Amino acid sequence: MWRSGDELVRLGHDEVLVDDAGRLRFFDAFQRDGALVVTGSPTAPGSVLTFMDAIGVAVRELAIGKIFDVRVDPAGFNVAYTAEEVPPHNDFANYTDPPSGQVLAMLVNEAHGGRSTVVDGWSVLHDLDRHDPSAIDVLSRVQVGFRQYSATADAFSRAVLVERDPEGRFTHLRFSNQLMQPLPFDHPDLAAWYRAYRLLGAAVCDSANQVSFRLQAGDMLFVNNHRVLHAREAFTPDGPRHLQDVYFDADEMTGNLARLTGEAKNAMVLS
């Protein structure tokens, strides 16, 4: 788990693809940290799909298609299409099963501002659990609605913000102020839930939990979308900025890592 002061692993695009040792470094960093940056990637639109194909990880198709083009667009249906700040969130909280992996591939970044931030959600949840377990309890119990829609597509789901596995390990933080709907005013847990949500929101927005950097053209930020939140500072649209997002299932990263380490060959059951 990581916090402010730590840095994401950065690996060169060609270094990852050249041999198994490069791929191993890539899958290992993703598994351990839930985030890393691949630098020096081709910047032709769609190149991220070629990279995903080369590492053997399938891309998830959503209502928007396989690639989500992010640039200033007054017709856009999400705050990402403006030059405004986008606070920490994970994408597609409005799906019952949001994709567990996301790539943010920067093709052009000639605008001033717009630095990127990532937050280790599991680290934040550990801290909150230590200081206020009742907050984690209510966030794990109460379902809230999430919705994202455009002129042509709409998806809604109701879900808890915090999920754990049967051994108590955090497996999913769902956090999106863009997509979350209010709790009904007569909900029995209204006060306790909003108290907990404000504590969680304050921790997510605390710079002590944030790692920030600038995504340059050719940088691809990989995140585990069930663990790591991403954010963008506001920018001045004084030059072009174009990002392509694609989504995948992080289990395929885990499986590829196990193949490369030999664990998949030797064991019937992966830990």
Rule CB under 6 A: which residues touch ligand AKG? Answer: 70, 80, 86, 91, 104, 116, 230, 232, 243, 245
Rounded CA gap, 249 and 207, in Å?
Answer: 29
Provide the token pair at 32. 């351990």
Report the partner that residue 38 touches, choosing among Fe ion, ligand AKG, none (CB closer than 5 to 8 A by kind).
Answer: none
Nearer to ligand AKG, 33 or 91 (CB): 91
Residue sitting closest to ligand AKG (CB) = 232
- Which of 211, 201, 155, 195 lies closest to 174 in space, CA to CA? 201
- Which of 268, 220, 271, 269 lies closest to 248 in space, CA to CA? 220
Q: Taken in order 243, 249, 251, 253, is the CA torsion positive or negative?
A: negative
Stretch that binds Fe ion, among 18-26, 33-41, 86-94, 201-209 (CB under 5 A): 86-94
Residue sitting closest to Fe ion (CB) = 91
58: left (phi over 0), alpha (psi -120 to 50) or beta: beta
Q: Is 33 in the site for Fe ion (CB under 5 A)?
A: no
Nearer to ligand AKG, 67 or 86 (CB): 86
Nearest distance in Å: CB 184, ligand AKG: 28
Nearest distance in Å: CB 161, ligand AKG: 18
Rounded CA gap, 88 and 232, in Å?
Answer: 8
Report the partner that residue 242 touches, choosing among Fe ion, ligand AKG, none (CB closer than 5 to 8 A by kind).
Answer: none
